[in-house]
Each structure stands twice: as C-alpha cells, then as structure tokens.
Amino acid sequence: MDSRTTYLLVDGENIDATLGASILGRRPKPEERPRWERLLQFARERWGQPTTGLFFLAANNELPMSFVQALIAIGYKPIPLSGAPGEKVVDIAIQRTLAELRHRDADVFLVSNDGDFVEQTRDLLDGRRVGVIGFVEFRNSGFVELVEDGLETYDLEYDVRAFKETLPRVRIIPIDEFDPTLFL
C-alpha cells in the first residue's frame, strides 16, 4: 500500500436532504439510506491507499448515539457539531477541514453535492487526487467546471453502489449503458 492517506469527508446532511427532498420526495427510511461502509471501501479500492473517513453531522445538543456508534463500528470518525441557530456548522467544519488538508500530503474525496465547497476543492487541485461523490444530477455545476483541472466525479448510486436497492432517479443514460429490460 501507498504511504499516502485518502481523507473521505462526508456531508451526511447534504446527501440525506438530496435523497429525501429531491429523489424520494419524503424522509428516507433507514434501509433507503446509503451504506456508509461502501463509501470507505470504494475510496480504499479506488486509490489503493489507507482511508480516513470523517463523517460531519449537526448534533444541535443532541447526540444521535446509536448512529454515532454505528459510524465508529464501520470505521468513521464522527464529527458531531453544534452552533448558533441558523449556523451551517457542517459546512463551516468541512470548509475548514478542506483548507487544512492543503497543508497535508493527502488525497481527498468529498461526499456532497453542495456548491459551498467548490472554492476549497479548487484549491486542492494542486497535483493531488481529489474526487467528489454525490448524485450527478444534483451536483453543483461549479464541480463540473473543475473536471478540466483534474477533479474526479463519482455517483453515489451508480459508481459507489452505496444503496441496497435502485433509487427512483431520472438520469441521462449513455447509450452504451442503456438496458431496455430496466424499463419493460
């Protein structure tokens, strides 16, 4: 294994909100949420190096202990945050972490569709490997513009295979991937 580390930064709120509001149209059931361990496995296998998973969540003075314990059990470092009402604590923490990673010899996967991280992601494209994982149809267009600079993009469902069941998504299908049996 390579001596470099990959940091996998998970914006759980963004993924959960996109899944619920934009894909399912309701709050996701536990079995409909991503299998977070598959993200860690994908990151390790994709770049062939040790991966540290950081899972950011807004705790708002209430620690979801069973979820935190599950994250720890599968290998994440949960980062429960609180702040003033209306303060986007997860976004602030991820932005600070991305900025700090510029000073480290490491590669980065960001799991989010949120455009609030485009600037910090751009700053990391200095020769290291940087990837964004999310839902391609909801990914902020600022990330798409960074592909020319070396940003790798992956879909949480189709590339990472983080879900147990197929999500009810409408996407543009490359003709080489079209399978009519999926529609009949």
pLDDT digits (tens, 9 = 90+) for 105-160: 999 999 999 999 999 999 999 999 999 999 999 999 999 999 999 999 999 999 99
Which of 175 and 72 is assigned the larger pLDDT?
Answer: 72
Which among 124, 118, 94 has a CA at the least distance from the CA of 106? 124
pLDDT at position 139 is 94
> CA–CA separation, 104 vs 97, rounded Å?
11
Average pLDDT, the chain: 93
pLDDT tens readout for residues 73-94: 999 999 999 999 889 999 999 9
What proportion of the chain, given as a percentage, has pLDDT over 70? Answer: 99
Which residue matches tokens 């990914």?
Answer: 139
Q: What's the one-letter identity of residue 65? A: M
CATH of 5-182, one of 3.30.460.10, 3.40.50.970, 3.40.50.1010, 3.40.50.2300: 3.40.50.1010
Please determine, for residue 2, whether its predicted confidence score (pLDDT) is greater than 70. Answer: no
